[in-house]
């Protein structure tokens, strides 16, 4: 079983418009509604790949009820182990501009989590860990959760002997990486905020020195850069693609996590991650991927190994 943690789950709404023009009214061409939050998106991809997957975190209020209903209706659905809270689960809105292919994202902050609700989550997390082959800690923290929450969860996973991947930003990332997760997966902006460096290799090496066993940086259309104990790796799709990038990073996490749970090496982990993230850009909504494109890309992603990690 693979466990994903989404402390700030969301109901993801995607609007498609012919062109997004500020200060005007828009007629929406298409609306999609999906259970979301980074770890939920990761779990959806893992389940579609055939992995037994469990989702935990928080869900509450009318929005949380819709999220759980949609989660349960998925054809390949992860097990719902979300902890019910009093507050209302947030919504995220992605507006896709069909003329340019660009996406504008609006994210609500999430419900206020009380001390008793955090304690209930820790109990659930502790019960699930012994059955997990790997765990992903993903996304932002809702209000009320202490900034060292991910560091606490990394330490609990490590104590249980479960490989842990961390995908977050800001101070939760800074503190979480010091707890020595097995893999950290920031994007270029998150890396820059963490390290102060914009050059990808320098920033990725700096992030690894802060405590992570391995760091895999998302570089958008340029693919992934990984600094690991086995060396430095670069992986990229064969060609640039246009589409909705929402959820592409989450699909990369799913690829890394599934390959980690299967005991695959870094080359295969990165091929799977790049193929999934690229296939997600080609799909219409977050948490989905174009399966035909994914299977084709598995044979065409370019991977290069460079010098040993510094």
pLDDT tens sequence across 50-105: 999 999 999 999 999 999 999 999 998 999 999 999 999 999 988 888 888 788 88
Distance from C-alpha of 154 to C-alpha of 175, rounded to nearest angstrom: 10
Exposure pattern of 239-256 as b/e (b: 16+ CB <10 Å)?
eebebbbbbbbbbbbbbb
In the annotation, is 268 catalytic? no
C-alpha to C-alpha distances, 291 to 64, 75, 85, 225, 279, nearest whole angstrom: 28, 14, 35, 24, 7
Pairing mode, if any, of strands 53-60 and 30-36?
Answer: unpaired
Exposure pattern of 92-127 as b/e (b: 16+ CB <10 Å)?
bebbbbeeeeebeeeebebbebeeebbebbeebbee
CB of 246 within 8 A of CB of 282?
A: no
What confidence score (pLDDT) does residue 128 get? Answer: 98
3-state secondary structure of 261: helix
C-alpha to C-alpha distances, 98 to 22, 221, 237, 293, nearest whole angstrom: 15, 19, 23, 21
CB of 35 within 8 A of CB of 67?
A: yes
Low-confidence ranges of the chain (pLDDT < 70): 244, 284-287, 307-310
CB of 254 within 8 A of CB of 260?
A: no
What confidence score (pLDDT) does residue 170 get? Answer: 94
Distance from C-alpha of 192 to C-alpha of 81, rounded to nearest angstrom: 34
What confidence score (pLDDT) does residue 184 get? Answer: 96
Residue from 206, 250, 290, 296 carrying the catalytic annotation: 250
């Amino acid at each position: 079983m693979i466990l994903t943690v989404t402390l700030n789950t969301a109901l993801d709404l995607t609007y498609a418009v012919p062109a997004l023009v500020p200060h005007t009214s828009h007629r929406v061409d298409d609306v999609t509604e999906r259970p979301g939050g980074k770890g939920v998106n990761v779990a959806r991809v893992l389940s579609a790949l055939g992995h037994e997957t469990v989702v935990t975190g928080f869900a509450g209020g009318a929005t949380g009820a819709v999220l759980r209903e949609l989660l349960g209706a998925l054809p390949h659905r992860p097990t719902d182990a979300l902890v019910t809270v009093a507050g209302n689960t947030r919504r995220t809105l992605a507006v896709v501009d069909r003329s340019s292919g660009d996406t504008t994202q609006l994210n609500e902050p999430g419900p206020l989590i009380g001390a008793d609700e955090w304690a209930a989550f820790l109990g659930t997390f502790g019960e699930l860990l012994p059955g997990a082959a790997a765990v992903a800690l993903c996304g932002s923290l809702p209000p009320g959760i202490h900034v060292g929450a991910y560091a606490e969860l990394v330490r609990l996973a490590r104590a249980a002997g479960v490989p842990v991947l961390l995908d977050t930003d800001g101070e939760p990332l800074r503190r979480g990486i010091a707890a020595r997760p097995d893999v950290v997966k920031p994007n270029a902006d998150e890396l820059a905020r963490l390290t102060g460096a914009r050059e990808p290799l320098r920033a990725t090496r700096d992030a690894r020195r802060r405590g992570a066993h391995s760091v895999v940086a998302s570089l958008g259309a340029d693919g992934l850069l990984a600094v690991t104990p086995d060396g430095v790796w670069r992986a990229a799709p064969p060609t640039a693609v246009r589409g909705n990038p929402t959820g592409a990073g989450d699909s990369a996490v799913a690829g890394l996590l599934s390959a980690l749970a299967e005991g695959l090496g870094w080359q295969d982990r990165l091929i799977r991650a790049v193929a999934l993230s690229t296939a997600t850009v080609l799909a219409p909504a977050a948490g989905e991927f174009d399966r035909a494109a994914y299977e084709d890309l598995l044979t065409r992603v370019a991977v290069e190994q460079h010098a040993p990690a510094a």
